[in-house]
Amino acid sequence: MKNIFCRGILSLVFTLVAATTSFAQNNSVKVGEALPESFWSTTHPVVNHTQKTLDLSQDKNKLILIDFWNTWCSACLMNIPKITSLQQKFGDRIRIIPVSNQDKAALDKFFCISKRKEV
């Protein structure tokens, strides 16, 4: 599960880029409104991820949870089991996108150390 969590660390960057590009032409979305179809049919660029783009077309009918976190944030780390249990409870009805502003080397080091502690 942590490996999946690590792979999705900076996936939300696409949302920020999409929000900047897609809605910059005064097409803002208000709370409760559905996202435009173009959001779901567009591939979004991703930074510091194994994939260069992210496609959310298969996640259109899922709850998308964006989790901002860092390795130095104790509250964030305490939430990892909660996020894991949400994924287990809701399975394919939820898409959790973890986001961190830390670089890949710091995240890889964190997950490598975490794996050693589990063993």
What CATH number should be reported for the domain holding residue 76?
3.40.30
**Total domain count for the chain?**
1
What pLDDT score was predicted for residue 102? Answer: 87
What pLDDT score was predicted for residue 115? Answer: 61
Read off the tokens for 25. 């032409």
What pLDDT score was predicted for residue 118? Answer: 56
What pLDDT score was predicted for residue 73? Answer: 93
What pLDDT score was predicted for residue 20? Answer: 53
pTM: 0.61
Widest distance between CA atoms in the chain = 52
What pLDDT score was predicted for residue 107? Answer: 84
- Domain that residue 12 falls in: 2-118
Q: What is the DSSP letter of 58?
A: G
What pLDDT score was predicted for residue 98? Answer: 85
What pLDDT score was predicted for residue 87? Answer: 93
Q: Which residue has the tokens 């502690």?
A: 117
Q: Which residues of 10-39 are buried (b: 16+ CB within 10 A; e: fewer)?
A: bbbbbbeebeeebeeeeeeeeeeeeeeeeb
Q: Do residues 44 and 18 lie in contact, with contact meaning Cβ atoms separated by under 8 Å?
A: yes
Residues of the chain falling short of pLDDT 70: 1-27, 48, 113-119
What pLDDT score was predicted for residue 2? Answer: 55
Tell me how far apart the alpha carbons of residues 54 and 95 are, in angstroms, rounded to a whole number: 13
